[in-house]
Structure 1
Amino acid sequence: MASRIIEFFGYAPQDRSEAARQARDGRLCPFMGAICQKTLNDGEVSGACTLKPANGPAVICCPIRLYASQHQILRDVAEVAFDGGVDLYPGAQAREAAVRPGRSRIAVFGKAWGGELRLPNRSGVGGYYVDWVLAKLTEAGSLEEFVAIEVQSIDTTGNYRAEREAYLRSEDYAGSSTAGFNWENVSKRILPQLIYKGNVLQRERLCRKGLFFVSPTPVYQRIDQRLGQGLLEYHLQTGSISFMWYNVGEPAPEGQLRELRREGTFTTSVVQVANAFTSPTNLPDANVYERAIHNAL
Structure 2
Amino acid sequence: MPSHRCSHVLWLSTSKPLSRRINQSAPSSLIKKGHMPRAKGNDLCEIFGYAPDDRSNPARKQWKSQDCPFVGNTCVKHSHPQDGGTVVVYGTCSVANKTRNGLEEVIVCPQRLYAGKYETLRSCAIDAIGHPLPTLLANDYSKAKRAKRLPEDFVVFLGQNSGSEVQLSNPGIIQLSLDWVLVRVTAGVPTLAVPCEVQSIDTTGNYHSSWRAYAEEKSSVPDSKHGMNWANVWKRLIPQLILKSSIATTSQLCKKGMYFILPDRVYMQFEKLVGKVPASKAAGHGVLTVMTYGLGPDVLPGQIRPVELRRQDRMSSVDFAKAFASGKQMPLGSQLDQKVIEILQGL
> Is TM > 0.5 for Structure 1 vs Structure 2?
yes
How far apart, in 2, do the equivalents of 1:277 and 1:83 lie?
A: 30
How far apart, in 1, do the equivalents of 2:208 and 2:193 lie?
A: 42
User: Which residue does the alignment assign to 1:142?
Assistant: 189
Question: What's the TM-score, normalizing by structure 2?
Answer: 0.77
Paired residues of 2:167 and 2:178 also in contact (CA < 8 A): no
Greater RCO between the two (CA within 8 Å, min separation 6)? 2
Inter-CA distance 191–38: structure 2 relative to 1 (3 Å threshold) = same
Equivalent position amino acid for 1:135 in 2:
V
Inter-CA distance 171–113: structure 2 relative to 1 (3 Å threshold) = same
Which of these residues, 155, 159, 169, is aligned with residue 106 of structure 1? Answer: 155
User: Which residue does the alignment assign to 1:57?
Assistant: 104
Equivalent position amino acid for 1:147 in 2:
V
User: Which residue does the alignment assign to 1:176?
Assistant: 223
User: Which residue does the alignment assign to 2:90?
Assistant: 46
Note the C-alpha offset of 1:105: 0.8
Note the C-alpha offset of 1:115: 3.4
User: Which residue does the alignment assign to 1:219?
Assistant: 266
1:197 and 2:249 matched: no
Note the C-alpha offset of 1:205: 0.9
Partner-residue secondary structure (3-state), 2:206: coil
Question: What's the TM-score, normalizing by structure 1?
Answer: 0.89
How far apart, in 2, do the equivalents of 1:292 and 1:161 lie?
A: 39
How far apart, in 2, do the equivalents of 1:6 and 1:41 lie?
A: 22
How far apart, in 2, do the equivalents of 1:121 and 1:271 lie?
A: 21
Equivalent position amino acid for 2:279 in 1:
E
Paired residues of 1:163 and 1:173 also in contact (CA < 8 A): no
Structure 2 unpaired stretches of 5+? 1-40, 82-86
Compute the RMSD of aligned alpha carbons.
2.4
1:232 and 2:284 matched: no
Note the C-alpha offset of 1:250: 1.9
How far apart, in 2, do the equivalents of 1:33 and 1:280 lie?
A: 42
User: Which residue does the alignment assign to 2:131?
Assistant: 84
Inter-CA distance 117–276: structure 2 relative to 1 (3 Å threshold) = closer
Equivalent position amino acid for 1:99 in 2:
P
Note the C-alpha offset of 1:48: 1.0
Count of residue pairs the alignment pairs up: 290
CA distances 1:50-70 after superposition (whole Å, capped 9, x unpaired): 001011520000111111111
User: Which residue does the alignment assign to 1:255?
Assistant: 302
Structure 1 unpaired stretches of 5+? none
Which of these residues, 203, 206, 209, is aligned with residue 159 of structure 1? Answer: 206
How far apart, in 2, do the equivalents of 1:192 and 1:253 lie?
A: 40
Runs of 4+ in 1 over 6 A off after TM superposition: 291-297
Inter-CA distance 29–281: structure 2 relative to 1 (3 Å threshold) = closer
Bigger radius of gyration among the two: 2
Partner-residue secondary structure (3-state), 2:239: helix
Partner-residue secondary structure (3-state), 1:35: coil
Paired residues of 1:108 and 1:134 also in contact (CA < 8 A): yes
User: Which residue does the alignment assign to 2:62?
Assistant: 23
Paired residues of 1:201 and 1:210 also in contact (CA < 8 A): yes
Inter-CA distance 88–97: structure 2 relative to 1 (3 Å threshold) = farther
